[in-house]
Amino acid sequence: MDTLVDRHAGRVYGFVLRFTGNAALAEDLTQEVWLRVLRSAKGFEGRARFSTWLFTLARSVCLDHYRKDQRRSARLPAVSEPQLENLEGEAPLPLERLADQELAEHVLAAVSELPDAQREVFLLREEGLSAAEVAEIQGVPRDTVKSRMRYALTYVRRILRARLGEGASRGL
C-alpha cells in the first residue's frame, strides 16, 4: 500500500484539488479515496490499469461528496487555486511568475465554467489518462470522451481569447 500511495498520491490529490477547488476538502477527500482503495482492493480484478481504477474511485468520492452535501448549489465550485510548477527548476522572474499565475487563474476559471462532464474529461486527461481510460471511468464511449474534450478545449480557448485578447492567446 505504501508503494501505491507513494506512486499515485500526488496525482490523486491534484485531481481532487482541481475537481473541488478547495485544498482542505481535497485533503479530506483524498484520504477517503485511499480508504476506499483499502476497502475495495479485493474488487480490483486487474482488467484495467490500476490508475484507471484509482481515478474511478477518486471521481466517485468527489461526486459522492457533492451528492451528500445538499447545501451546495447544483454546480461544482470554481477552481480557485492555481497549481503552477516550474518545470525547468529555475525560478522565473517576478513578472513572469505573475503573468503565469494570471494565465493559470484564467484557465482554471474557464475550466470551472465547463459543464460537469466536460470538466471531468479535461481534468482526467490532464492527469495523463488516455481517452479509453477516461471512457471507462465515466462509463461512456471513447468517441464521447473525445468530443467532450474537443468542446472543452474550444470553450477554454474562446474564453481565454475574450479575457486576454487575441494577441495574448495566440498559442492556445
For residue 37, give the CATH number of its domain.
1.10.1740.10
* Residue 171 maps to a domain: no
CA distances from residue 35 to 94, 96, 143 in whole angstroms, order as listed: 41, 40, 32
pLDDT of residue 89: 44
* 109 shares a domain with 60: no
pLDDT in tens, 14-41: 888 888 888 899 899 999 998 888 888 7
Task: Give me the mean pLDDT over the 109-122 stretch.
Answer: 87
* pTM, two decimal places: 0.58
- Number of folded domains in the chain? 2
50-68 vs 116-126: helix axis angle to the nearest 10? 140
The DSSP code for 88 is: T
pLDDT in tens, 118-169: 988 998 888 888 899 889 888 899 999 999 999 999 998 898 888 877 555 4
Asked whether residue 12 is assigned to any structural domain, the reply reads yes
- Does residue 4 sit in the same domain as residue 73? yes
pLDDT at 116: 85
The grid coordinates listed for 96 are 513572469
Q: Does residue 86 lie within any of the structural domains?
A: no
- pLDDT for position 87: 36
Q: Are residues 69 and 107 in the same domain?
A: no
Length reported for the chain? 172
The pLDDT of 5-9, averaged and rounded, is: 82
Question: For residue 135, what are the domain limits?
Answer: 92-166
Would 172 be classed as within a structural domain? no
Is the CB of residue 91 less than 8 Å from the CB of residue 61?
no
Within a domain: 84: no
Q: What is the CATH number of the domain that holds 105?
A: 1.10.10.10
User: Which spans in 41-93 are helix H?
Assistant: 50-68
Residues 114 and 62 in one domain: no
Q: Does residue 13 belong to any structural domain of this protein?
A: yes
CB 85 within 8 A of CB 11: no
Residue scoring higher pLDDT (13 or 92): 13
Q: Is residue 156 part of a domain?
A: yes
* pLDDT tens-digit map of 56-105: 888 888 888 877 764 444 444 444 434 434 334 444 455 555 556 677 77
Cβ pair 44, 50 in contact under 8 A: yes
Under 8 Å CB-to-CB from 58, ≥6 apart: which residues? 12, 15, 16, 29, 30, 33
Q: Residues 143, 72: one domain?
A: no
pLDDT top residue among 31 and 106: 31
